[in-house]
């Protein structure tokens, strides 16, 4: 079996059928393309990553959960109720002051759907897939993320058999924050590893 078979490229036939259905529904006036875009945006940016943020905030505040998460992410995440396709085998890797982790799927778009929702377009793009491995610091810089030269950057290549999520570092100034408050700080991109979680702005 070639390595490529471990990945989940969408069957083009299904993509074509979906496209055909969408065109037909739009043509008949049964759906509004803007409504479809809004629906996709919801899963890509809002509903999906909130699950991951919940996992992160819990790991930040409950040391036992964090240990479990780093040892057996599939079970720890499943215990909160986030299970399903594209999340069967999960590994969570922790950012520390000496290691920054970055997730990519070099061959297609394997992604932990159960905790992050749908992958963003750039994650599936050829330039990100190629450059994340060759020039991770350059990619991070494009996201406005500066990682110190003394910090090692590890790149994790997702497959359909193992999907990665980054546990970002808990930002300074949040020691007395509740899990719910912490949730709002955790971005999708920080769980892919292209950004860090920034300390709350003084108000």
Annotated catalytic residue within 110, 158, 160, 187: 110
- Residue among 156, 152, 104, 109 nearest 130 (CA): 104
Residue spans of beta strands (DSSP E) within 44-142: 90-94, 99-104
Pair of tokens at residue 15: 């993509």
Annotated active-site residue 110? The verdict is: yes
Contact positions toward Fe ion, by CB under 5 A? 7, 105, 107-108, 110
**Measured from the CB atom, is 128 or 177 closer to Fe ion?**
128
**Smallest gap from residue 106 Cβ to Fe ion (A):** 8
**Smallest gap from residue 12 Cβ to Fe ion (A):** 15
Annotated active-site residue 109? The verdict is: yes
Pairwise CA distance, residues 157 & 91, whole Å: 11
**Measured from the CB atom, is 55 or 108 closer to Fe ion?**
108
Annotated catalytic residue within 23, 105, 187, 190: 105
**Measured from the CB atom, is 132 or 186 closer to Fe ion?**
132
**Measured from the CB atom, is 66 or 193 closer to Fe ion?**
193
Annotated catalytic residue within 2, 12, 79, 109: 109
**Smallest gap from residue 103 Cβ to Fe ion (A):** 11
Annotated active-site residue 79? The verdict is: no
DSSP letter for 87, please.
-
Give the ranges where the chain is alpha helix by DSSP (H): 12-27, 33-41, 48-61, 63-71, 73-80, 113-116, 121-124, 126-134, 136-142, 179-183, 188-192
Pairwise CA distance, residues 187 & 166, whole Å: 11
**Smallest gap from residue 184 Cβ to Fe ion (A):** 30
Residues serving a catalytic function are 105, 108-110
């Amino acid at each position: 079996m070639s390595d490529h078979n471990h990945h989940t490229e969408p069957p083009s036939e299904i993509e074509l059928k979906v496209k055909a259905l969408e065109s037909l529904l739009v043509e008949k006036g049964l759906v509004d393309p803007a409504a479809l875009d809004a629906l996709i945006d919801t899963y890509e940016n809002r509903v999906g990553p909130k699950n991951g943020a919940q996992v992160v905030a819990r790991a930040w505040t409950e040391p036992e959960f964090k240990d479990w998460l780093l040892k057996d992410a599939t079970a720890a995440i499943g215990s909160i109720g986030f299970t399903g396709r594209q999340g069967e085998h999960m590994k969570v890797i922790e950012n520390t002051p000496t290691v920054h982790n970055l997730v990519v799927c070099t061959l297609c778009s394997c992604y932990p759907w159960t905790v992050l929702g749908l992958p963003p377009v750039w994650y599936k793009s050829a330039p990100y897939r190629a450059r994340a491995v060759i020039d991770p610091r350059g990619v991070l810089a494009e996201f406005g993320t500066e990682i110190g030269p003394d910090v090692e950057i590890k790149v994790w290549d997702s497959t359909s058999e193992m999907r990665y999520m980054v546990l970002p570092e808990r930002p300074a100034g949040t020691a007395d924050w509740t899990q719910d408050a912490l949730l709002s700080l955790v971005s999708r991109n920080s769980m892919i590893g292209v950004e860090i979680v920034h300390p709350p702005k003084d108000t």
